Every structure is written in structure tokens, then in C-alpha cells.
């Protein structure tokens, strides 16, 4: 019950940020790549690293390297929300912050042949998570179901982390969702929110995988992963620059082209991922069976995209003809 005090404190801090963001014009003006049509406060996800910092202070810095990496990546992401920042600088900070996360998770004691691919995968996941933040509610709701799933696993399956940190992360998401999961959102997560939350989730996910020795838990991000990876593949096929901002994700097509309500699309992603999480926890998966599950899921998802979006839209006019 003591942790419920975080709710009013974090809400108060976020309301202060709203006033400051208007004063310093940290706002999001819609453009041709946007999925919204009104000026909205940017960077509301700053509450995520703030919540973790508060928990670190109250707990005596139980995860000092992780907290340092989060603050580093959060600061540069927030700066990018205020004014454009070079991709090279952002990537450099990510390359510095991720090893701090690895050291905290005790991954650096493993073979370099494990560290290098995980390093690349984590950097890619952080950026993919950021690209998935494009409509109201999706980052907050999807992240909440992931954090709660990690908390459930920690409490009832295998203890891999300090539960109070997951509780604080979930509470910060609830505060953010209150202002974001609306038809007309009060704020967006911004880079500081999506990147910071990706960093938080990846840290606890790594702790879980290292403690359990089971890769099936990467499935906790399966639906996001399917959308992100398939979108990259289709953009490469169309010979597009995958590092440029775009609206090519499946969730963006549903919201922007098909005209589905943003909150409906966000809820669909959350519900599908929740069903996947239940499946992951309900069976004793072998490595082979889980790999088959991933492949079948990918085939179904790509098939769904072709059925909904059409071959010409996904592959490009030249290839379609």
C-alpha cells in the first residue's frame, strides 16, 4: 500500500511537467508523418525515468548501473524531444548506456559470442520500441501488460528481480496512461518515454532470461517484434531508408489508412500480446517448439498484413506488377 503513494506524487510531477512543457514549447505539432491532428504535449513519458530514479533514491540505489544507464539514455532522448539531435549522438549514447545495463544484469561474464549479438539485438529493440510509439495508448498500454507479466512471473514462477521496481514502473505507466489513453491525448510519451521504457523492460527481461536460462520469454514482446521486423523487411524490399521516420507499421496502417480508432488498435495489440503471454506461461516449451511457435506466428502475421494491406502496398508498385 505504501507504493500507492507514488500515484499522487508522480501525477503531481507530471502535471508540473505539463506546465513547463507549454512554457518552453515542448509540444508535438502534427505533420505529414503524424497519426494525430492536434498539438499535444510531447515527452510525457519523462515520468518513467523519474519514477525509477525515485525508487533508486528510496531503495539505496539497488540497481546503480542500470539506473545510471537509464538516466543517460533518458536525458539524451528528452533533449531530442526538445530539439532535433544527430542520429550519431543518439546512437553513441545508446552504445554507452547498454553496457551499463549488461554489467548490472551480469551479462558481461558470458562469452563475447553471446554478448555481441545480444548487444546488437538490444540496440535494435530499443529503436524498434521507439518507432512503435505512434498512436494514442499503444506505448503505455502495451508496456503495462509487459511489466505486469514480468511482475507475475517474478512473484509466482521464478524470482529474478526486486518486485518493487516493477511495481513502480507499472505505477508510472498508469499515471501516463491516464493522460494518454484518450481519443484526444493530453500528452505523448516522446522519445524519452518510449526509449526509457524499452530500456526498463529490456533490463528486467534480461534478468529473467539469464536467471531462467529460457529464451521463451522474448515472446513477451512478440507482437511488437512481428510488426517492427516485418515492417523493416517490407521497407527494404521497397528500397526505402529504414532509418527515416515513416508510417509503414501495421498499427499505423490500421489507424491512418483503414481509419480504425487509435484506442481500438492499441487495445487489439495489448489483447493479442496478453494472449501470447498466457500461452507462454501455460506450457513447458522446448526450444524447438518455441521456435516453431515464433515461425508460425510470423507467417500468420505476414499473411494478415497481405490480406489487410495488399501486396501492392507492402511490396511496392514495381514488384507488384
pLDDT of residue 74: 97
Is the confidence at residue 320, as pLDDT, over 60?
no
- Per residue in 273-290, pLDDT (tens digit) is 999 999 999 999 999 999
Q: Which residues contact 43 (CB under 8 A, 6 or more apart)?
A: 17, 21, 26, 78, 81, 82, 187, 188, 189, 190, 191, 192, 193
Neighbours of 11 (CB within 10 A): 17
d(CA 26, CA 87): 20
pLDDT of residue 321: 38
**What are the two backbone dihedrals, phi and then psi, of residue 246, each rounded to the nearest 5 degrees?**
-160, 180
- Per residue in 25-51, pLDDT (tens digit) is 888 766 544 444 567 899 999 999 999
Query: Lowest mean pLDDT: which of 50-54, 143-147, 244-248, 254-258?
Result: 244-248
Write down the domain spans for the chain: 2-320
What pTM, to 2 d.p., does this model score? 0.94
Dihedral, 13, 262, 190, 89 alpha carbons, nearest 10: 160
pLDDT of residue 1: 65
- Per residue in 190-234, pLDDT (tens digit) is 999 999 999 999 999 999 999 999 999 999 999 999 999 999 999
Considering only residues 102 and 27, tell me which one the structure prediction assigns the higher pLDDT.
Answer: 102
pLDDT of residue 319: 44
d(CA 255, CA 152): 31
Report which of 153, 125, 169, 143 is spatially closest to residue 211, judged by C-alpha positions: 153
Mean pLDDT of 66-80: 97
Look over the chain and give the mean of its residue pLDDT values, rounded to a whole number. Answer: 92
Cα→Cα distances 22→6, 16, 42, 43, Å = 24, 10, 10, 11
**What are the two backbone dihedrals, phi and then psi, of residue 10, each rounded to the nearest 5 degrees?**
-65, -35
Is the confidence at residue 243, as pLDDT, over 90?
no
d(CA 221, CA 17): 30
* Percent of the chain surpassing pLDDT 90: 83
Amino acid at each position: 500500500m505504501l507504493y500507492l503513494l507514488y500515484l499522487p506524487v508522480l501525477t503531481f510531477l507530471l502535471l508540473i511537467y505539463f506546465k513547463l512543457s507549454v512554457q518552453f514549447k515542448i509540444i508535438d505539432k502534427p505533420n505529414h508523418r503524424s497519426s494525430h491532428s492536434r498539438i499535444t504535449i510531447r515527452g510525457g513519458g519523462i515520468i518513467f525515468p523519474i519514477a525509477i530514479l525515485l525508487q533508486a533514491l528510496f531503495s539505496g540505489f539497488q540497481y546503480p548501473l542500470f539506473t545510471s544507464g537509464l538516466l543517460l539514455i533518458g536525458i539524451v532522448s528528452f533533449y531530442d524531444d526538445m530539439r532535433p539531435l544527430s542520429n550519431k549522438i543518439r546512437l553513441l549514447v545508446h552504445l554507452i548506456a547498454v553496457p551499463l545495463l549488461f554489467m548490472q544484469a551480469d551479462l558481461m561474464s558470458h562469452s563475447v559470442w553471446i554478448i555481441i549479438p545480444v548487444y546488437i539485438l538490444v540496440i535494435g529493440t530499443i529503436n524498434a520500441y521507439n518507432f512503435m510509439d505512434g498512436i494514442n495508448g499503444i506505448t503505455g498500454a502495451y508496456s503495462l501488460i509487459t511489466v505486469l507479466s514480468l511482475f507475475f512471473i517474478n512473484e509466482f514462477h521464478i524470482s529474478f528481480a526486486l518486485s518493487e521496481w516493477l511495481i513502480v514502473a507499472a505505477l508510472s505507466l498508469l499515471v501516463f496512461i491516464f493522460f494518454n489513453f484518450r481519443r484526444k491525448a493530453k500528452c505523448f510519451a516522446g522519445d524519452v518515454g518510449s526509449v526509457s521504457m524499452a530500456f526498463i523492460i529490456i533490463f528486467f527481461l534480461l534478468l529473467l532470461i539469464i536467471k531462467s536460462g529460457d529464451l521463451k520469454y522474448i515472446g513477451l514482446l512478440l507482437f511488437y517484434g512481428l510488426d517492427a521486423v516485418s515492417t523493416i523487411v517490407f521497407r527494404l524490399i521497397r528500397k526505402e531508408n529504414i532509418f527515416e521516420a515513416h508510417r509503414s507499421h501495421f498499427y499505423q496502417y490500421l489507424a491512418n489508412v483503414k481509419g480504425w480508432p487509435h484506442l481500438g488498435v492499441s487495445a487489439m495489440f495489448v489483447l493479442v500480446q496478453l494472449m501470447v503471454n498466457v500461452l507462454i506461461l501455460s506450457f513447458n516449451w522446448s526450444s524447438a517448439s518455441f521456435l516453431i511457435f515464433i515461425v508460425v506466428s510470423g507467417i500468420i502475421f505476414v499473411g494478415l498484413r497481405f490480406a489487410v494491406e495488399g501486396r501492392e502496398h507492402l511490396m511496392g508498385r514495381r514488384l507488384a506488377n
